[in-house]
């Protein structure tokens, strides 16, 4: 049987061999490629026999899985690298940026708000007690001053009465002195005349010894009356001296001038009571001044507590944000605010700064485990969702995007 056409070799003629030369190998016969059979024709015989197509080639399945794992690993690695680069870029940005602020929503149940409200309530209670004590001190001072005014009026009336009594005592003493001298002269003349007459009558025998002794007794009674007049005059003069001393003492009490003379017991009691009342009034006035100063200090404490940004945010319903001291120089009233997507890109304006609030606060850094010190600012937001952002930017877009 002749060989097939695809296996026919090209013969080399023997004449081509030169005498004495080495034989030349004939080139190999090249087989023609088999005809291409479609996948359906290839497995038609199996399907006709009811066997169906065989299972997939395990090598192909493994290859497909390896390619899939490689693509997935590359995708995950790409995501990790992108996230890492984004994290590093964000950290570097917030390390060097000084234009960010941190908005916050303050609720009535916040522990800082509750602590401040408790302090305000405690200080208000202290202030109310001080105000009540101040009102009582005012009433007490008013009562004491009224009493002292009436007490001084009573002293003036007593002084006026004592001066009138002094004038009367002096007048009576003067009258008694004048009458006494007249009576003494008359009594002396009467006594001398009586003694002379009784001596003449006794010598003439007109009266006996008993009548003479009775006449002398009458003369002695006249002398006794002279002593009574002198004693009465001395009493009025002593009374006048006492009244003068008491009047001078009462006048010294009213004019607050000291005196060297001894005071009577009654006037000393009046002076003591008046001095005690003045001391009580002075003490009440000093206490009132202390309460007024304390009340002013308490009002300052309450004003400081009420100005706290936490309480202002609750009472006024204001939106607030935290600004670290390092970024505070960029924050002024009216400075525009921007919110960004993807941390610091694709930004748009969302409001402005209204006021920098007094007082220091502490807050955690939005991207680092670090506590920062700074102040709060009141902001006006046109976009309510901006209050939910981690950070806002002041003055402009951080990356001009």
Q: Give the tens place of pLDDT for each residue, 58-96.
A: 677 778 888 888 888 889 999 998 888 877 877 777 777
> What share of the chain has pLDDT > 70, as a percent?
76
Does the pTM surpass 0.85? The reply is: no
Local confidence band at 389 (pLDDT 50, 70, 90 cut-offs): confident
Output 1 or 330, whichever has higher pLDDT: 330
* 339: exposed, middle or buried (Cβ count in 10 Å: 0-12, 13-18, 19+): buried
Measured distance CA(90)–CA(246) in Å, rounded = 96
Question: 208-251 pLDDT, tens per residue?
Answer: 777 777 777 776 776 677 677 777 777 777 777 777 777 777 77
Burial 35-71 (b: 16+ CB within 10 A, else e): eeeeeeeeeeeeeeeeeeeeeeeeeeeeeeeeeeeee
Confidence (pLDDT) at 296? 92
Residue 256: both structure tokens together: 């607050």
Local confidence band at 28 (pLDDT 50, 70, 90 cut-offs): low
Least confident of 6-20, 128-142, 301-315: 6-20
Phi, psi (rounded to 5 degrees) for 389:
-70, 150
Residue 334: both structure tokens together: 């009216």
Q: How far is CA 30 from CA 2, 6, 24, 27, 33, in A?
A: 17, 8, 18, 9, 9
Confidence (pLDDT) at 131? 92
Local confidence band at 15 (pLDDT 50, 70, 90 cut-offs): very low
Length of the chain: 401
Nearest to 297 by CA among 134, 98, 80: 134
SS3 content of the chain, % helix, strand, coil (to 5): 65, 10, 25
Measured distance CA(87)–CA(91) in Å, rounded = 6
The answer to whether the beta carbons of residues 307 and 357 sit under 8 Å apart is yes
Q: Any idea which residue has 């006494």 for tokens?
A: 180
Nearest to 318 by CA among 109, 100, 104: 104
Nearest to 339 by CA among 105, 101, 89, 94: 101
Confidence (pLDDT) at 19? 43
DSSP class of 36: P
Radius of gyration for the chain, computed over Cα atoms and rounded to the nearest angstrom: 65
Q: How many CB atoms lie within 10 A of CB 344?
A: 21
């Amino acid at each position: 049987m002749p060989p097939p056409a695809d296996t026919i070799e090209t013969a080399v003629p023997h004449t081509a061999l030169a005498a004495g030369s080495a034989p030349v190998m004939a080139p190999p016969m090249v087989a023609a490629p088999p005809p291409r059979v479609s996948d359906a024709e290839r497995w038609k015989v199996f399907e006709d026999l009811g066997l169906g197509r065989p299972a997939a080639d395990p090598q192909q399945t493994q290859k497909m899985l390896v390619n899939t794992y490689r693509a997935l690993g590359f995708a995950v690695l790409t995501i990790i690298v992108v996230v890492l680069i984004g994290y590093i870029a964000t950290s570097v940005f917030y390390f060097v940026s000084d234009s960010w602020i941190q908005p916050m929503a303050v609720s009535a149940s916040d522990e800082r708000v509750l602590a401040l409200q408790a302090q305000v309530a405690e200080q208000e209670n202290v202030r109310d007690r001080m105000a009540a004590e101040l009102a009582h001190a005012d009433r007490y001072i008013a009562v004491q001053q009224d009493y002292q005014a009436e007490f001084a009026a009573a002293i003036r009336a007593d002084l006026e009465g004592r001066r009138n009594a002094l004038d009367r005592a002096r007048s009576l003493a003067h009258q008694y002195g004048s009458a006494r001298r007249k009576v003494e002269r008359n009594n002396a003349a009467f006594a001398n005349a009586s003694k002379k007459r009784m001596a003449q009558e006794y010598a003439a025998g007109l009266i006996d010894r008993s009548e003479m002794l009775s006449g002398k007794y009458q003369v002695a009674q006249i002398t006794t009356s002279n002593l009574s007049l002198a004693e009465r005059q001395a009493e009025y003069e002593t009374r006048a001296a006492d009244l003068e001393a008491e009047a001078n003492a009462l006048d010294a009490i009213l004019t607050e001038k000291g005196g060297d003379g001894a005071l009577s017991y009654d006037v000393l009691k009046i002076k003591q009571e008046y001095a005690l009342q003045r001391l009580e009034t002075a003490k009440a006035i000093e206490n009132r001044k202390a309460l007024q100063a304390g009340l002013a200090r308490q009002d300052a404490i309450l004003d400081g507590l009420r100005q706290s940004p936490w309480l202002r945010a609750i009472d006024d319903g204001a939106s607030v944000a935290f600004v670290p001291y390092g970024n505070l120089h960029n924050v002024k009233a009216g400075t525009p605010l921007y919110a960004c997507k993807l941390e610091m890109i694709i930004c748009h304006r969302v409001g402005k700064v209204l006021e920098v609030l007094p007082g220091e606060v502490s807050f955690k850094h939005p991207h680092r485990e670090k506590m920062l010190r700074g102040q709060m600012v009141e902001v006006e937001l046109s976009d309510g969702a901006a209050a939910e952002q981690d950070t806002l930017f002041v003055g402009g877009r951080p990356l001009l995007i």
